[in-house]
A and B are shown apart, each in its own frame.
Chain A
Amino acid sequence: MKRNIYLDNNATTKVDSMAVEAMMPLFTKQFGNPSSIHSFGDQVGGKIKVARRQVADLIGALHESEVIFTSCATESTTTAIYSALKVNPDKKEIITSTVEHPATLDVCEQLEREGYIIHRLAVNKKGQLDIEEYRGLLSDNTALVTVMWANNETGTLFPIIEMSAIAHEKGVLFHTDAVQVVGKIPLDIEDSDIDMASFSGHKLHAPKGIGGLYVRRGVRYRPLLRGGHQERGRRAGTENSASIVAFGVAAEQAELHLETMSSKIAALRDKLEKGILEQVPYSFVTGDADNRVANTSNIAFEFVEGEAILMFLNQYGIAASSGSACTSGSLEPSHVMQAMQIPFTAAHGTIRFSLSRYTKEKEIDYVISVVPQIIEKLRGFSPYWKDGKPLDVKAFEPAA
């Protein structure tokens, strides 16, 4: 029997069946435009209101009006960054980190070309930030701090609560890319200094194409998309009503399962890691193992290339992902692995396993049983490996 073991939940998740059920009527009878005055519209408008409350509850927002529905977290992040610059026309600096998602990095790179100054906080080998460096960069010229809450590749958590408080001490706006924490850890945004937060539905068992941006009440804001009064004028464009409704249900379910995440899923993740590391020599966990979201494990396998591992895993019916260059059509390993200075022997061989509440123990057992064979087989093809041991790889490398 061909297995279907899905361990790529940081990329996207299976849609919750209750969310699917909830959205179906919006494709048939409840097709109205929520802006319309008649009952077709009202019916949908009411459902969106419920969904907004459900999402607000999951992130711990006090007012449901603080939640703006967007098409995805990339849109949310872009909106937050441009909004911050528009409300602070005299401030030309942004503080971010070297390990952000491209949604942040690429926007910042473009802004840099336009003359803005981008400070990118470095991380150490465990993927942690230097808070003193951060503190020192904040100034009257800082328009925005935008830093991710958890890293998508390693799951490493940044101290966002503390960092937002430090930003506010200096009166600086704070945005966080919360994509990898919403639905994974309990959040109480209201009780923090976070001004804006971006998140995505499809990482927490809602459909793709729906995201959210939290904007704290009272924080100055300028929309990216103008042209209609939807979302209280903060994001024009007819609502993706079916997906919004599904997002609401998925958010409610995610909140109910937060405890599962920290207990059952963390235990499975730890079992997976231990099982693999014990059997595979020259492998190690990347990131901050003591301080990360419960579902993510990123393992570096030295002397093997990630895409080749993924292809074999896929052959066994196991889906995972890699920070390897080849999976992204690039020639360089992921910027996250580079920023953490992963040894060059392993930089191309990192595999991310990301679990969900649907992950079963027998699936983990199966993965533990096949990974060592795959690594051994691939190392057998490698010019750097002989008789179960690596050769002196330094000898192959051109002097740096």
Chain B
Amino acid sequence: MWNYSETVKDHFFNPRNAKALEDANAVGDVGSISCGDALRLTLKVNEETDVIEDAGFQTFGCGSAIASSSALTELVIGKTIAEAALLTNQEIVDYLGGLPAEKMHCSVMGQEALEAAIANYRGIELVDDDHEEGKLICRCFAIDEGKIFRAVEQHDLTTIEHVINYTKAGGACTSCHEKIERVIDEVMANKKATSSTTEPSAEKIKPQSVSSLPPSSKLLQKVIEVLANLRPYLQADGGDVSLVKASEHLIVVKLSGACTGCMMTDMTLGWLQEQFSEALGKTIPVVNQAPETPAES
């Protein structure tokens, strides 16, 4: 499926330096088993000359992760720490005679392990900023929704090309372009919504997210008004409700307190739906936001 180059296959089936150096004085760890790939790079650096005399890798990962690790060790042996610090993931890719677009992150992992090992050698602790935010969008460079969202928002990005230039996301296999476009659309819709001056008056039940309807929407204002009127009834029974979002097709609320529990949720939702249909003159399904949305792939 990937059509790996002969060099990649060679470095996978006959990896160089697949070992843990017992006398290493620089260690770089990146990745984790739950992420699907992890690399521990061990270096033996001559402390007088700063030359990397030996390197070893231990990798949990796919074919290109192992090949990239093997290539990395070959590339750094003989280099000084200062020279090695300039190594880019592209050099690993070139050394291997190319990697499939979807596998670029394997070379990035190699580069990051090297950075971590160099930092370790110099006695610097690297801050791990490999936290995940939201769904993974670009699988080639392992870039999640949060990072793209922030880039689009901060730099007013409006096209795929912009996003690629700022984040790399979408720059390889292109299969995530539809998802990136959705992020762009969402940010633009949010900006449009917040720039309009008319804030809804029912302060108490401000929706947590209005991505589906702008605050100026008549329907949204009506929904907020209806909910504000119904709320005291629920509160009287020891429950409460807030609005998550509303669209032409769906109203999402968040029930709490005595309104929840298997039987009560359905009953309350049914009642809310009835009240909404009456007030809005049409039936829009009302659903409860699940307490915790399971991670989806």
Residues in B neighbouring A338, C-beta threshold 8 A: 295, 297
The CA-CA distance from A331 to B65 in the complex, in Å, is: 12
B59 touches A117 (CB 8 A): no
Interface membership of A191, Cβ < 8 A: no
The CA-CA distance from A381 to B287 in the complex, in Å, is: 49
Cross-interface CB contact of A330 among B18, B38, B139, cutoff 8 Å: B139
Cross-interface CB contact of B136 among A114, A330, A383, cutoff 8 Å: A330
| A333-B36 contact, Cβ under 8 Å, with A303-B60, A326-B61 | yes
Residues in A neighbouring B173, C-beta threshold 8 A: 329
Interface membership of B296, Cβ < 8 A: yes
Number of A-B contacts defined by CB within 8 Å: 120
The CA-CA distance from A382 to B60 in the complex, in Å, is: 5
Residues in A neighbouring B105, C-beta threshold 8 A: 331
B39 touches A324 (CB 8 A): no
Q: Closest B-chain residue to A394, C-beta based?
A: B33
B285 touches A92 (CB 8 A): yes
A383 touches B38 (CB 8 A): yes
B249 touches A305 (CB 8 A): no
Interface membership of A256, Cβ < 8 A: no
Cross-interface CB contact of B139 among A93, A324, A331, A382, cutoff 8 Å: A331
B285 touches A305 (CB 8 A): no
Interface membership of B119, Cβ < 8 A: no
A305 touches B65 (CB 8 A): yes
B297 touches A305 (CB 8 A): no
| A396-B63 contact, Cβ under 8 Å, with A115-B247, A330-B136 | no
Q: How far is the CB of B43 from chain A (nearest CB, A)?
A: 15
How many residues does chain A have at the interface if contact means C-beta atoms less than 8 Å apart? Answer: 45
From A150-158, A217-225, A341-349, the one touching the partner chain is: A341-349
The CA-CA distance from A307 to B283 in the complex, in Å, is: 49
Interface membership of B25, Cβ < 8 A: no
Q: How far is the CB of A394 from chain B (nearest CB, A)?
A: 10
A311 touches B60 (CB 8 A): no
Range of interface residues on chain B? 35 or more
Residues in B neighbouring A383, C-beta threshold 8 A: 20, 29, 38-40, 58-60
Interface membership of B149, Cβ < 8 A: no
B62 touches A329 (CB 8 A): no
B34 touches A305 (CB 8 A): no
Among A327, A330, A347, A382, chain B packs the most CB atoms within 10 A around the CB of: A382
Give B99-137 interface residues, CB cut-off 8 Å to A.
100, 102-103, 105, 128, 136
The CA-CA distance from A384 to B15 in the complex, in Å, is: 18
Cross-interface CB contact of B66 among A98, A308, A332, A393, cutoff 8 Å: A308
Q: Closest A-chain residue to B173, C-beta based?
A: A329
Q: Closest A-chain residue to B41, C-beta based?
A: A383
The CA-CA distance from A312 to B18 in the complex, in Å, is: 17
Residues in B neighbouring A90, C-beta threshold 8 A: 283
Cross-interface CB contact of A329 among B29, B139, B294, cutoff 8 Å: B139
| A116-B249 contact, Cβ under 8 Å, with A335-B296, A382-B58 | yes
Give B131-188 interface residues, CB cut-off 8 Å to A.
136, 139-140, 142, 173, 175
Q: Which 4 A-B pairs have CB atoms at the shortest separation, nearest pair first? A: A115-B249, A326-B62, A329-B102, A307-B62
Q: Which residues of B contact A (CB under 8 A)?
A: 1, 9, 12-13, 15, 18, 20, 29, 32-40, 58-66, 100, 102-103, 105, 128, 136, 139-140, 142, 173, 175, 247-250, 262, 283, 285, 287, 294-297
